[in-house]
Structure 1
Amino acid sequence: MPNSLSPANLRLEATALWKLAWPVLIGQLATVGMAVADVAMTGHTNAAELAAVSTGAAIWSIVVVTVVGTMMAMNTLVAHEVGAGSTERIPHLVRQGLWKGLGVGLVAALLANLATLLFDHLQLAPEVNRRASLFVHFISIGLPPFACYRALYGYSTSINQTKPVMVIALLGLAFNVLVNWLLIFGKFGFPEMGGVGCAVSTGISMWLMLGAMLLWMRIAPAYRSTYPFTHWEWPHWPEIRPMLQLGLPIGVTYFAEVSAFGAVALLVARFGVVEQSAHQIALNFASLVFMVPLSLGIGMVTRVGQAMGEGDARRARAASWVGMGMSLAFAVLSAAFIALFRHQIAAAYTNDLAVQATCVTLLLFAALFQLSDATQVAAACAIRGYKVTRGPMLIQLFAFWVFALPVGCLLGLWQGMAAAGFWIGLVLGLTIAAFLLTAYLRTLSNARVAEGKTA
């Protein structure tokens, strides 16, 4: 397509990307809304209980986001098959992807529970340590079904069926909020479990979402031509291995970023309940806003992957840069919103005035990194659409573990800046990642056009 970069085609690409992304966005917001509900509802108990949930959520966030990245290979693989018109292979890919998801989920649950041993070395109050460990133990029951759900999620979005994941995520959120209310506060005769109650609720919600996705696929006509459950199929390692080879670097990429944020949460814990709770609130809200560029990125994986499957490298390049532009446009708006309404955001999460005051400062840093955060996630997702995953992995490891975390430790621990010092380090890490990933995408997309290669 020589005119792939014409204004008319760019508008068409933007429309197509938004059509894919907006249901994903609502679904992502609903999924992250579970974590927001957990923190916000626990914040209205007491600061110690919020600190326990914040500490447990640091482990949960690292593990669950790594699972999301590892399972994202399904998005790319199915998108390429759709673009190439090879839909007969999709059912087999999905069946093997579910076996992969089961294994990934079980390993993730084991690692999450082992990670609670770190709490003994963080100088936590004994009750915060105990409650945070219980939080992780209960919420980890949702990891195996969640990993399988993400396999089906990738399949559904890559065949352009994004509205089902939106509806199912909203269902999960509604269930989570209701059961949170029952279990955190002990309503209608249920035990008053505090923050542990939201862990139980979230774990059960993951099972509910997997069941709802399976039911939707069974009855919706859009899945009939690629329906994966026509017969039983045992795991086949020669098929699962390339899925892991593609997905594990994405998982490590996600791990590099979220573990840096999670490590900061654990290190901030030593500064006391106020700093710890303020950090978690600011990070929680920033994560919620981040769902917009992430959803655009998920749409970009599908658009770029389908274009490359068709052998149209020019359209793949156009899809990449349209997505980058849309992500940046939103980032400008989100930065302004956070900066202007930071006091109201903090007050919505907690009644504790000391936590609010610290949180307001951290939200300024969250506003500052909106541009770089949106840029780096959009570029990384576009690169994945090309079936390239190792380069972004190395860039993220470099940005967050060579720069962000060491600078954060230098300022936060040794210069006495506490949580603010760590957030300065995170801003630097995101900025480095944004520049390097953008350069990588530019080189890769131009090379594909010049060479005419599709994989």
Structure 2
Amino acid sequence: MPNTISPANLRKEATALWKLAWPVLIGQLATVGMAVADVAMTGHTRAAELAAVSTGAAIWSIVLVTVVGTMMAMNTLVAHEVGAGNVQRIPHLVRQGLWKGLGVGLAAALLANLCTLLFDHLQLAPEVNQRASMFVHIISIGLPPFACYRALYGYSASINQTKPVMVIALLGLGFNVVVNWLLIFGHFGLPALGGVGCAVSTGICLWLMLGAMLAWMRISPAYLATYPFTHWEWPHWPEIRNMLHLGLPIGVTYFAEVSAFGAVALLVARFGVVEQSAHQIALNFSSLVFMVPLSLGIGMVTRVGQALGEGDARRARTASWVGLGMSLAFAVVSAAFIAVFRHQIAAAYTTDVAVQATCATLLLFAALFQLSDATQVAAASAIRGYKVTRQPMLIQLLAFWGFALPVGCLLGLWKEMAATGFWIGLVLGLTVAAVLLTAFLQRLSKERLPA
């Protein structure tokens, strides 16, 4: 950590970052909790249903997270305007961000449905193929509202309004769990849809979350100074192109990581329902734990962006390294927790003994990559706060598609280590990303300091 950070500045920045990040964390946990509820609740039906949801969720997760990254330009752009005091420009950015979100969401829905054609080439059981395809077709109705919601999410977080995100996500989780219970198992005379019920519930929930965010902005005084819906505004293509120029590399960066994990899920499917289900459970829980460093990273984008908007490169550097340190501290705790309680975690998801045993082994690798995963997301978030997105994209592509996936295929397929071989590759890819991104952040933050 750079020696320019005094203990007083460290405490001040850590407090400010945590104040911004904890509501985001609860909101992120609630959002990911929907996917956790989908897998956990389906796991108590049939192994074939869980396999179908796991396969469909592999496609859904890749597309969804890519949308999140592409829309993250809003966080950076609004944070810089807040720091510079240009609040009059923010409503225009939000309106154009919503147009961008609508286009991105429609394109993502089309892509998700086209990706189901891949299932025909994965040697899946016919029932799993059919149920997984139906899962994707239904849940994709939630992508357009989700992309627009993420535009408003970035706007709200960057003006330091993170509690609305938390409350809306918690309400969404509650709705999702209740409707899952009704539709998966067929309570109160409703049809028992199994895994398809998860798709119906989540798709509806994403529309309701967008509506709740719009309603909150309308009644809360915190948004008065920058309220974006004072008049109609058509798409302004130069502004949208600028947002895409900044956001698409972030989307590709997110795609590089999540697609590597998703590709592993699809490749593991050929080893049978036990390996496939165990992989999905381990990945699902790892994603839940990952929300802590990710939430700190979202806070870092705001803190770094606002500092740079004010012209304070030294404070931006402080925010970067304090956030990285906080992420690492959490990673140590989470790694120990996963390693010690891996059997209990597996049992919470499924009653299948064979799936539990395989999952417990994979969770050891999940514990191992906590340090590198937390480091790479924190470093990448700080870099985005500097409005630099292409270099992290290239680093992530190299790490996951140049190292993680080739090594995983070598060990998992050729050496026949199945899911274990792929997880070794993922550990390697995350480590490469963490080292390269940290080195780039060190150079970038130092270069921006005043002479």
- Please name the residue that 1:264 is paired with: 264
- Please name the residue that 1:243 is paired with: 243
Deviations 1:180-215 (A, max 9, x none): 000000111111100000001001000010000000
Report the 3-state secondary structure (helix = DSSP H, G, I; strand = E; otherwise coil) of the residue aligned with 1:288: helix
Deviations 1:50-75 (A, max 9, x none): 00000000000000000000000000
Deviations 1:96-144 (A, max 9, x none): 0000000000000000000000000000000000000000000000000
C-alpha separation between the residues in 2 aligned to 1:242 and 1:203?
A: 30
- Aligned residue type for 1:122: L
Question: What aligned pairs does 1:314-329 form with structure 2 within 5 A after superposition?
Answer: 314-329=314-329
- Please name the residue that 1:415 is paired with: 415
- Please name the residue that 1:364 is paired with: 364
- Please name the residue that 1:203 is paired with: 203
C-alpha separation between the residues in 1 aligned to 2:5 and 2:361?
A: 42
Displaced runs of 4 or more, over 3 A: none
User: 1:4/1:87 Cα in 2 relative to 1: closer, same or farther (>3 Å)?
Assistant: farther
Q: CA deviation at 1:450?
A: 4.1
- Unpaired segments ≥5 residues, structure 1: none
Of all paired residues, the percent bearing the same amino acid is 88
- Please name the residue that 2:166 is paired with: 166
- Unpaired segments ≥5 residues, structure 2: none
Deviations 1:264-284 (A, max 9, x none): 000000000000000000000
Q: CA deviation at 1:4?
A: 6.9
- Please name the residue that 1:384 is paired with: 384
- Please name the residue that 2:428 is paired with: 428
C-alpha separation between the residues in 2 aligned to 1:66 and 1:238?
A: 22
Question: What aligned pairs does 1:68-217 form with structure 2 within 5 A after superposition?
Answer: 68-217=68-217
- 1:55 matched to 2:55: yes
Report the 3-state secondary structure (helix = DSSP H, G, I; strand = E; otherwise coil) of the residue aligned with 1:407: helix
- Aligned residue type for 1:104: V
C-alpha separation between the residues in 2 aligned to 1:349 and 1:302?
A: 35
C-alpha separation between the residues in 2 aligned to 1:189 and 1:87?
A: 52
Conservation of the 8 A alpha-carbon contact between 1:346 and 1:356? yes
Q: Tell me the TM-score normalized by structure 2.
A: 0.99
C-alpha separation between the residues in 2 aligned to 1:450 and 1:163?
A: 35
- Please name the residue that 1:38 is paired with: 38
- Please name the residue that 2:277 is paired with: 277
Q: CA deviation at 1:5?
A: 2.2
- Please name the residue that 2:292 is paired with: 292
C-alpha separation between the residues in 2 aligned to 1:200 and 1:362?
A: 30
C-alpha separation between the residues in 2 aligned to 1:393 and 1:280?
A: 25
Aligned residue pairs total 449
Conservation of the 8 A alpha-carbon contact between 1:4 and 1:10? no
- Please name the residue that 2:349 is paired with: 349
- 1:313 matched to 2:301: no
Report the 3-state secondary structure (helix = DSSP H, G, I; strand = E; otherwise coil) of the residue aligned with 2:448: helix
- 1:15 matched to 2:30: no
Report the 3-state secondary structure (helix = DSSP H, G, I; strand = E; otherwise coil) of the residue aligned with 2:170: helix
- Aligned residue type for 1:164: P
Conservation of the 8 A alpha-carbon contact between 1:76 and 1:387? yes
Report the 3-state secondary structure (helix = DSSP H, G, I; strand = E; otherwise coil) of the residue aligned with 1:449: coil
Q: Tell me the TM-score normalized by structure 1.
A: 0.98
